[in-house]
Structure 1
Amino acid sequence: MSGVRVLVDATCVSADRGGVGRYVDGLLAALARTPDELSLSVVCQRTDADRYLALVPGAEVIAAPTAVSHRPARLAWEQTGLPILAQQLNVDVLHSPFYTSPLRSSCPLTVTIHDATFFTERDHYDKARGTFFRSAIKTSLRRAARVIVPSKATSDELVRLLDADPSIVDVAYHGVDPAAFHRPNSAEIERVSARLGLAGVGYIAFLGVMEPRKNVPNLVRGWAAAVADRPNPPALVLAGGAGHDDAIDEAVAAVPAHLKVVRPGYLRPTDLPGYLGGALIAAYPSHGEGFGLPVLEAMACGTPVLTTPRLSLPEVGGDAVVYTGEDSETIAKDLSELLADDQRRAKLSILGTERARDFTWDASARVHLETWRRAAGKGD
């Protein structure tokens, strides 16, 4: 196959390494294993330059101006400095991994659109953010030579809602790095439990940004109802970045005094296997996802998962997770039944680990490579 020269804009990756960061890092590490098929350049924030030099040996790593650490400046540089850089590097394709891309470019553009919930779940986003991303998605569909999405559900939604051309949309499932997400040993579990103040205490784990789409208030209410009368009730841990869902505080304030809610904020990446793998259950009752990376990562850590059958989540969980509703009553019922069934949780642990092996960054990288070849006129 013909090689292709690609510039990946990683300036959108934030220091906390949320879902977008794990996508970009996992993809670039896999692409580093395809040196004969790809000439890769990566532009990133200055604080990430050394990281990518080590992660992607052989790639050309360029540090963007310091100002791009601030979102308005990054978006402005994306329209001006990024196209100039692509032209200077004489690349075949410029890839933008997070919705937005330059309006003008001397080479074909490809864009990753992570989900369509800005259109289907409008009430779960504040007005400014929703308006911005709906406009960005429409623009990217209009301007990009090809579009990458992380699930068939997202592809279907873009076609259904925005009349996207299905022939230019490629599905590249996210992967999971087994070195980063694995069944933890007892020392990893004990270290994280102690840090959370939960040594010797069982807990239900949530991982994600605290935004309305994640349905955290109903999780809090459902968990409280499910465990209130249990001896030694498991705690609920809400890990992840602060969002804009004030209803979470209201739900937590109503939790009975004998139950424990822990809100540690972001956890270090090295703590995630111990956190997820040490949980009795990972609960993720989202209203809708473009992929659902925390579900896959919990499965890889051997944790039974309770989630919803919304949008892409069945593509990720398959028959290896338990599906629940979005209301607190159904969450309470299904969570209670799963807590009471040790044998079922043990079976889900095995099924989840096996299914997680099917999602690799190497497979995702192969789809990205073919997308870039097609965009450059070098593919099938």
Structure 2
Amino acid sequence: MLFFAFDRLPVELILMIFQYLSGNDIFLSFLNTSFYINNILKSYNKYSLNFISSTREKFDYILSNIEFNKIISLTLSNGELTGGQFNLFLSKYSSSFYLFNNLYSLTLHCIQMKKIEYIQLIEAFKQFQNLRLLYLNQISLIDIDDCFISAFNQLNSHCLIKLNNCEQLNISSLSNKLQYWKSNCFNFYRQQWTCLRAIQLKDLSRTSLNHLLHLTPQLISLIIECEIDKNTSSPNFRLVPNLKQLIFSCQNLTFHYLIVEIGLDTLSKLKHLQIKCNASTDELIFNGDHWKIFLSQSFSYLIKFDFYFKYSYKKNLSLNTFRTQFWLEDKKWFVALCHCQYSNNLELFTVPCFNTTI
């Protein structure tokens, strides 16, 4: 190996540079550049490897040249162009699972799991006893009867779990482990979810939202992607006073609805609020001065506020109340007004969050 410019740098500086790079980039960029760098790579013990967009060749190359006890975070995928790396990991490295003794975070992405892989994964979980975070993203099961219960039971008691679109998994045993849940609907059970901090829902048709909020008193983030309409009972946000992020859509928004019906003003810890409404008849909703009073009195920690409101009446609106020092200088929240091209509706929204509407 020839002389490499980084050989002049002290180890401490190179390790600082590594903090800004992924484990994949570190290995693919620096391996075999010099003996000096190779020794640093060998001693470095904080590799975070993400193979979601890696080919099978790169996956095999990195794992063949790294000491497994130096990996703290690992992401595996069976997505496009990965060549079935999850299956390869289970079959090729099953005898070395015990060497992953410093693995703190494991993410499994876009995997259709058959029975043989499931059995191998259970054995892996038995040996990943320092695992502190398991993130399952788009996992589906084929001919697996216990719906992942046996796998969950192998995790140590300190391991938290995040789930995204994993409807086939039985989560009844995760009341003190589940931290994040994203799904088309929440298949909740009767127990309290003491560790659940974030929920993202796509469908409310089969979900009693207030029942869900009652079971998740420590919730910090709630994102409701679908619209809360007349067929859905109004949420009672008083049940989750620790919310710091709230994103929701509703019909015919009024300040009476915000305060009296859903108790939005009680969420004093909010830092991020986003509201979308496709129909409103309350003129105060379009008054920046009224919003200033409401927001200042209710949310002293609010950093980000985005909204999209549609006004169905044939009446001119002014942006003057949204051009005050409070909006432009103190908060730096910028508001735009647009006339709908094919109707008499007016659209009032924050930019850049809803600037695609322009």
Task: Provide TM-score, normalisation by structure 2.
Answer: 0.28
Identify, as 1 or 2, the structure richer in helix: 1
Identify, as 1 or 2, the structure richer in strand: 2
